[in-house]
Amino acid sequence: MDVKQALAERKSTRAFEARTVEQEKLDAVLDAARHAPSGVNTQPWKVAVVTGEKLKQVTEAMESTFRAGQKGKMDYQYYPLEWQGEYKERRKACGLQMYQTLEIGREDKQRQMDQWAANYRGFDAPVILFFLMDGVMEAGSFLDYGMFMQSVMLAAQEQGLATCPQAALAEYPEIVKQQLGYAEDTVLVAGMAMGYEDTAALINSYRTPREEVDAIATFYQ
């Protein structure tokens, strides 16, 4: 598999098979991703690879907190405080496409909640990666982390594994850090579900569109 193919075939997978991911595949993914670039070689990534009983404990704690009505708060501001213009439209279209695929109506609040709650279980993937970094790091390290996470996803694609990068998995940082033994001032950047795609699941049948090159790039000579 070449890089272009991996980039094109990667998608956010939201339903996984129950089968275990082999340790050698997890090792191979992280061994490849560790070569990602970072400013002055800081390598700010600290990755918690969570499976089994510990995964169940963490995800159950997050989901139950969500269902109890306690809104999560990330360690940093991920999204704009006010959605505007093209970003607002893309966000709206993304959610609408998913709900239409699942035939979840606007008035079906229970199914909407159940679908959102699945975020906190990592969509029942057998592996969740939590990405953390020291609290002393600044904005540049978030850029580094984006490159590292993309490297993880492409390496996983090569191994036949599906992924879903998730901001939602960082919405309850206190729970994650307490359960996994990280210091309070550690920043929980994001999470990622990983496993084998359930190809029969309806939710995995849709893909969000991307802008063409002419819409995102301006060439100067």
Rounded mean pLDDT, 80-102: 96
Task: Domain ranges for the chain, please list them.
Answer: 3-78+120-206
For the chain, what is the mean pLDDT?
97
| Reported pTM | 0.96
Nearest to 153 by CA among 145, 216, 105: 145
- Using pLDDT thresholds of 50, 70 and 90, give the confidence band for residue 67: very high
Nearest to 57 by CA among 180, 157, 139, 144: 180
CATH class as words, domain 3-78+120-206: alpha beta
pLDDT digits (tens, 9 = 90+) for 97-114: 999 999 999 899 999 999
Nearest to 78 by CA among 121, 131, 142: 142
Do the Cβ atoms of 45 and 148 come closer than 8 Å? yes
Please say if the pLDDT value at position 220 is more than 90.
yes
- Taking each helix axis as running N to C, give the angle between helix 109-117 and helix 52-67, from 0 to 180 degrees, rounded to the nearest 10: 150
What is the CB neighbour count within 10 angstroms for residue 60? Answer: 13
pLDDT digits (tens, 9 = 90+) for 165-179: 999 999 999 999 999
Rounded mean pLDDT, 61-70: 98
Query: What's the pLDDT at 106?
Result: 87
Q: Return d(Cα 119, Cα 58) in angstroms, integer.
A: 12
Q: CA 11, 17, 20: angle at the middle one, nearest 5?
A: 110
Please say if the pLDDT value at position 182 is more than 90.
yes
pLDDT above 70 as % of the chain: 100
Strand-strand pairing, 46-50 and 162-166: unpaired
Nearest to 86 by CA among 214, 190, 206, 216: 216
Structure tokens at 158: 């090569």
Please say if the pLDDT value at position 187 is more than 90.
yes
pLDDT-wise least confident of 104-108, 117-121, 144-148, 187-191: 104-108
**How close are the terminal C-alpha atoms of the chain, in Å?**
34
Please say if the pLDDT value at position 148 is more than 90.
yes
Do the Cβ atoms of 170 and 190 come closer than 8 Å? yes
Query: What's the pLDDT at 159?
Result: 98
Query: What's the pLDDT at 1?
Result: 84
What is the helix, strand, coil percentage profile of the chain, to 5?
50, 15, 40
